[in-house]
Chains A and B, each alone.
Chain A
């Protein structure tokens, strides 16, 4: 692991349910290295998505700090957070969330349009990315003309459009069959090399876990364990707890 791309210190987030504060995150200290693929696993309601939202600048912590690629998120205004999401973060959602009225290449271009990248440059970058995810032939297809796996690969291409510091994916294979899930992970791994991208993946899926460099287990708003994963997808430190959490 090289230098840190994402660092959280004592990250806490409470929600209000009526008069009662409900803790979602109880002091998470996490470091994600540049070019790493980090998996976050844990049961529903353990705080995985909250952690992702805080790193992605969609939400603000109750306490603690997030630093992404040298940007201290707590010091940003709402408008600056929006700009941060545009330029430093790529999001991949469980249900793809492509814009249904835009075709594949236009969906990939969308973040660049928002960032006011020149049109010709947008098109070139978008086609390159579609090529990288193996969908160059689907550039003019509308989302409803694509399979789930194809839509998610378009979403990954979209997430990478503005050369983000980190790509955050919430259950990226949650709606995919295992063949599509494997294909998606292959694409992510190759993009990690080509684009030097950093991925943080929230998942329940062993196929995803097998492709991570490292896996953190979250329970009750804390990271309870973490393990490194070898090139062969095996857990390096010999512990079986990660898989225990999965099955």
Chain B
């Protein structure tokens, strides 16, 4: 008969009480697991949300002689002004481009959501000096969260098309469907079709004179075949931007620049929410712990004479302590196992149970993302499973320490006199 066996016997002896005590731990553990899963799920959701709202967080440039980079909160593309001499290029000096093949290296870095290459160069549209951005329209839209704010027309879909800023279009007196001449110099060039006009948000400066064409067109015009000046990168999870950037940095020849404000706030938001959820879960578990203490104290009160007998026939304080700690540990373990099980079931079921609640006032972050209205998203992670299980078992045994100590310190003579 080990102390564990005796503990099992005693717990089975009072099944109802054991079940009620265990359920206190079950509720606490299940709650912690569900809340942790919700926190993880919400974090994913928030990341997705922020990814949709903010622009690219990382701009990858040549590490030895980078192009001038600006990355604004609105996600306006980082402009590189290293083009072919004169004009705007002359204002900002000249940076070395990077090989286009590095785009796939950057894409392969873990945590990268999208990497979009871009070649910025000085050029002329109908004899007017502008900044020409060669972009990959598909990835550009993802990397900048929606791409350009078009007021007319559509995005680039093939070569020899151009999207003009509203300022340039007005100056040139052209509109969607017009033909313009695009080239590296003020004279000569190739005919491009104006397919779209975007709002630049300003009437002067380089932003008002940034025109967009296909990457390969820009490479042709500037004579930089197979080269790009920047790669715009967006991370899967905005809170992991720093990690992603440092991983990209380890690729030779490039440097990753971060828009720090964005990454920091995303991480803070997620952490605050997780902390909040964990605190609620711990409070629930604490209530369960008091249940265990209460049951153990009651049990020790009832078994005073038994404890006296054990001490009289030669059980050491340690042996008595072990018997009662074993009971508390068992309560904790059973509670933790059942709690994790229920927590998993609830975490898995929650998203499908909460989808319809959108109109009834779930106005959290979930509501902002179309198609996810009111839905509580959960993410089960192995770490959270282990954490909630360990917390439950630990709380069980911790709650048993004081009662077990009381039991082991009873005076055997007094305890034997107890009726």
Q: Which residues of A contact B (CB under 8 A)?
A: 53, 56, 58-59, 79, 82-83, 85-87, 89-91, 93, 95, 97, 99-102, 106, 109-111, 113-115, 158-159, 162
On chain B, the residues within 8 Å of A79 by CB distance are: 316
Given A97-B306, A99-B309, is A82 in contact with B1 using a C-beta cutoff of 8 Å? no
Please determine whether B1 and A97 come into contact, CB atoms closer than 8 angstroms: no
Q: At the interface, yes or no: B311 with Cβ under 8 Å from chain A?
A: yes
Please determine whether B314 and A93 come into contact, CB atoms closer than 8 angstroms: no
Q: Smallest distance from the beta carbon of A134 to chain B beta carbons, Å? A: 22
B315: nearest residue on chain A (CB-CB)? A114
Contact residue among B309, B314, B413 (Cβ-Cβ distance under 8 Å from A97): B309
Task: Give me 24 A-to-B residue pairs in the complex whose CB atoms sit less than 8 angstroms apart, sorted by A's number.
Answer: A53-B413, A58-B311, A58-B312, A58-B412, A58-B413, A79-B316, A82-B315, A83-B314, A83-B316, A85-B311, A89-B314, A90-B313, A93-B416, A95-B305, A97-B305, A97-B308, A102-B9, A110-B1, A111-B313, A113-B1, A114-B313, A114-B316, A115-B314, A158-B313
A100 to B6: give the CA distance in the assembly, Å.
Answer: 11
Q: At the interface, yes or no: B319 with Cβ under 8 Å from chain A?
A: yes
Please determine whether B309 and A82 come into contact, CB atoms closer than 8 angstroms: no
Q: Smallest distance from the beta carbon of A127 to chain B beta carbons, Å? A: 15
On chain A, the residues within 8 Å of B71 by CB distance are: none
Please determine whether A101 and B6 come into contact, CB atoms closer than 8 angstroms: yes
Q: Which residues of B contact A (CB under 8 A)?
A: 1-2, 6, 9-10, 12-13, 305-306, 308-317, 319, 412-413, 416
A220 to B9: give the CA distance in the assembly, Å.
Answer: 44
A59 to B414: give the CA distance in the assembly, Å.
Answer: 10
Please determine whether A85 and B313 come into contact, CB atoms closer than 8 angstroms: yes
Please determine whether A85 and B1 come into contact, CB atoms closer than 8 angstroms: no
Given A82-B314, A87-B314, A110-B1, is A101 in contact with B13 using a C-beta cutoff of 8 Å? yes
A84: nearest residue on chain B (CB-CB)? B314
Q: Smallest distance from the beta carbon of A126 to chain B beta carbons, Å? A: 11
On chain B, the residues within 8 Å of A86 by CB distance are: 313-315
A183 to B1: give the CA distance in the assembly, Å.
Answer: 29
Interface centre among B6, B13, B311 (most CB of A within 10 A): B6
Given A59-B413, A93-B309, A106-B1, is A101 in contact with B9 using a C-beta cutoff of 8 Å? yes
A106: nearest residue on chain B (CB-CB)? B1
Given A53-B413, A100-B13, A114-B319, is A109 in contact with B1 using a C-beta cutoff of 8 Å? yes
On chain B, the residues within 8 Å of A100 by CB distance are: 13, 306
Contact residue among B2, B9, B10, B316 (Cβ-Cβ distance under 8 Å from A82): B316
A205 to B101: give the CA distance in the assembly, Å.
Answer: 104
On chain A, the residues within 8 Å of B314 by CB distance are: 82-83, 85-87, 89, 111, 114-115, 162
On chain A, the residues within 8 Å of B412 by CB distance are: 58
Interface centre among B1, B305, B412 (most CB of A within 10 A): B1
Q: Smallest distance from the beta carbon of A52 to chain B beta carbons, Å? A: 10
On chain A, the residues within 8 Å of B316 by CB distance are: 79, 82-83, 114
A35 to B317: give the CA distance in the assembly, Å.
Answer: 31
Give the 4 A-B residue pairs with the shortest CB-CB distance, closest first.
Answer: A86-B314, A101-B9, A97-B309, A85-B314
